[in-house]
Amino acid sequence: MIDLDAQAERIDAAARHAEPIAQLTASTPFSLDDAYVIQRASIERRIHRGESMIGVKLGFTSRAKMIQMGVDSLIWGWLTDAMLDEDGGRVALDRFIHPRVEPEVCFLTSREIDRPLTMLEASRYLEAVAPAMEIIDSRYRDFKFTLEDVVADNCSSAGLVIGPWTKRFDGLRNAGVTMRLDGRIVQAGSTAAILGDPLRSIVQASRLIAQSGLVLPAGSLIMAGAATAAHPLPVDAHVHCVINGLGSTEFTTYRLS
């Protein structure tokens, strides 16, 4: 028997101390189901320390991300309030190991989600949508992992910045995405890269949540997954992401120590 709780403790400690570790599966192979149990147990540790759950994120919803990381399945993880950084604010990089940033679309739910939704129903469960960026930070050395490892690591979740909320659900399907680092374009693409339509992330999230026997409360965030590959996030940098017709979001990085 694998001690899933001990694995959760290892990955949680790596995140807490910003110290990279070897892939968990290198010493103890486990299944994808077990990976989600480890993920859940590591999130419970955060909740126990006082963090609160604010929503879920999907990963590998675009080909660009799958190709960059060498995996081919959609995954999901949890977001907590400690991950949230301010739009237009300054983000200290001390809490990360080797952060990367990626452009995303973030949804805010208006109703509880407790069953698989269809594409037609999805927008009725939404309060707002915003341009966003996710800061991902694998707890594994060299940012390398198997699918099971990255799921156990809560899908590399580390930070997020959300731009102004809007009701612009139309036109989301194929909107241009540009991410700039100090004014230079480092990633560009389209929201169509996210499952063909970012709204489909609501359908996928609802299916995954229902499958796990869980309920997502109204007022939760759903991060749809990156439209492009992720970009390394340096210190003293200004990052700006524009999603055409939706809006923009930005932040500046620094180091405390």
Q: Please report, as ranges, the residues that interact with ligand OOG according to CB under 6 A.
A: 59-61, 65, 69, 102, 134, 136, 138, 150, 155-156, 225-226
Which one of ligand OOG, Mg ion, none is in contact with 150 (Cβ closer than 5 to 8 A by kind)?
Answer: ligand OOG
Beta carbons of 101 and 211 less than 8 angstroms apart? no
Closest approach, Cβ 1 to ligand OOG, in A, equals: 28
Binding to Mg ion, residues 134-153 (CB under 5 A) = 134
Angle at 134 between CA 27 and CA 46, to 5 degrees: 55
Q: Are 55 and 221 in contact (CB under 8 A)?
A: yes
Which tokens go with 105? 């679309």
Within 10 angstroms of residue 67's Cβ, the number of other Cβ atoms is: 12
Q: How far is the CB of 42 from Mg ion (least distance, A)?
A: 18
* Residue 155 partner contact from Mg ion, ligand OOG, none using kind-dependent CB cut-offs of 5 to 8 Å: ligand OOG
What residues numbered 85-144 form the site for Mg ion, per CB under 5 A?
A: 134
Exposure of 109 in the CB half-sphere (CA atoms within 13 A): 27
Minimum CB distance to Mg ion smaller for 4 or for 83: 83
- Decide which of ligand OOG, Mg ion, none touches 163; Cβ closer than 5 to 8 Å per partner kind: none
Output the smallest distance, CB 39 to ligand OOG, in A: 12
Cβ–Cβ < 8 Å for 147, 73: yes
Distance of CA 25 to the CA centre of its chain: 22
Nearer residue to ligand OOG within complex by CB, 60 or 78 = 60
Q: How far is the CB of 240 from Mg ion (least distance, A)?
A: 17
Environment class of residue 50 by beta-carbon count within 10 Å: exposed (0-12), middle (13-18) or buried (19+)?
A: exposed
Min CB(1)–Mg ion separation in Å? 32
Cβ distance to Mg ion smaller for residue 179 or 226: 226
Q: Which of residues 205-244 bind Mg ion (CB under 5 A)?
A: 226
Measured over all CA atoms, what is the biggest interatomic distance in the chain, rounded to whole angstroms? 52
Smallest gap, in angstroms, from Cβ of residue 129 to ligand OOG? 16
DSSP letters along 75-89, please?
Answer: EEEEEEGGGEE-TTS
Name the residue number minimizing CB distance to ligand OOG.
59
Nearer to ligand OOG among residue 54 and residue 110 (C-beta)? 54
Q: Which residue has the tokens 């909740």?
A: 47
- Alpha-carbon distance of 15 to 13, in angstroms, equals 5
Binding partner of residue 80 among Mg ion, ligand OOG, none, CB under 5 to 8 Å per kind? none
| Measured torsion, CA atoms of residues 152, 196, 171, 175, in degrees rounded to the nearest 10 | 80
Interaction site with Mg ion (CB under 5 A): 134, 226
